[in-house]
Amino acid sequence: MKKKPDARTIIAHVVLIFLSFLCLFFFYILVINASRSHAQLQLGFSALPGSSLIANFKNVVNDPAIPILKGIRNSLIVSGCCAAITTYFSSMTAYGIYAYQFRLNRAAFTFIMMILVMPTQVTALGFLRLITNMGMDDSLLPLILPSIASPAVFYFMHSYMQSSLPKELIEAARIDGSGEFGTFNRIVLPILKPAMAVQAIFTFVGSWNNYFIPALVITSKDKQTLPIMIATLRGADYMNFDMGKIYMMITIAIIPIVIVYLCLSKFIIAGVTLGGVKE
């Protein structure tokens, strides 16, 4: 005979269903608004879809002033490269601080943490002057290369190594004759896969939604990312302002984020205890 669920289980399920509804409700409203015309949106809120979904999509894709396909390509290049570079090199940096004991180990860790609390706006003008002097303005490289050094990802990976990467495993690999890069790539990275997946998602979303730095660096339309194009639509004059196009463009912009999350979310739980050894 099956055991009936107790009151605690029922309450937990009710709370989870309610939270899931809150998370998905805003996506539902976004899709609904993307299917309505500008005139329908001016009438107020509606929980029922409109009949302008295809028309809004065509208006966005065929707008010569907003090359959305190039914007998607640019955003995918920047976000994908940032996610890959950040997770790999920040993990390597965290591994160097964690696995090696040298004189300036603590000082290096403190210095990286000091950079973590520095706002981006403080260094924006100096960064813009630097890339201008290097001839890298109006290109995607300044949006990608700085992601090699990410203090936030470094701190997360360092904390994860302290809880999930025993140093005895590293010593055993060295005794077996494994080189340092071989140890990191073949032994350490598989253990860090769940943490790297989490940070890859966060980095991808952060780079995908980043507007401040691309707006300073990018000047040509062919190299603009999606946030800049969405801001361009929102800043259009009254005669060209179309809320339906804006909602459709936002809907298109969140699709790659959802796909990336679905692809990487399976690694978040899988392998959490991988590589554990007994003391």
Q: Per-domain residue ranges for the chain? A: 7-53, 61-269
273 band by pLDDT with thresholds 50, 70 and 90: very low
278 band by pLDDT with thresholds 50, 70 and 90: very low
17 band by pLDDT with thresholds 50, 70 and 90: very high
| Per-residue pLDDT tens digits for 66-85 | 888 888 999 999 999 999 99
| Per-residue pLDDT tens digits for 143-158 | 999 888 889 999 999 9
Distances (CA, A) of 66 to 210, 219, 257: 18, 14, 21
Question: CA 148, CA 78: separation in Å to the nearest integer?
Answer: 13
| Per-residue pLDDT tens digits for 19-56 | 988 888 888 888 899 888 888 888 888 888 888 888 88
Percent pLDDT > 90 in the chain is 14
Between 91 and 238, where is the model more confident? 91
pLDDT at 81: 94
| Per-residue pLDDT tens digits for 107-153 | 989 998 888 888 777 788 888 888 888 888 888 999 999 888 889 99
pLDDT at 272 over 70: no
Q: What mean pLDDT comes out for the span 169-195? A: 86
φ/ψ region of 181 (left if φ > 0, alpha if ψ in -120 to 50, else beta) reads alpha
pLDDT at 266: 73
pLDDT at 3: 63
Fold of 61-269: MetI-like fold (1.10.3720)
Would you list the DSSP string of 12-56? HHHHHHHHHHHHHHHHHHHHHHHTS-HHHHHT---SS--S-HHHH
Nearest Cα residue to 73 out of 223, 269, 202: 223
Both tokens assigned to 75: 């955003």
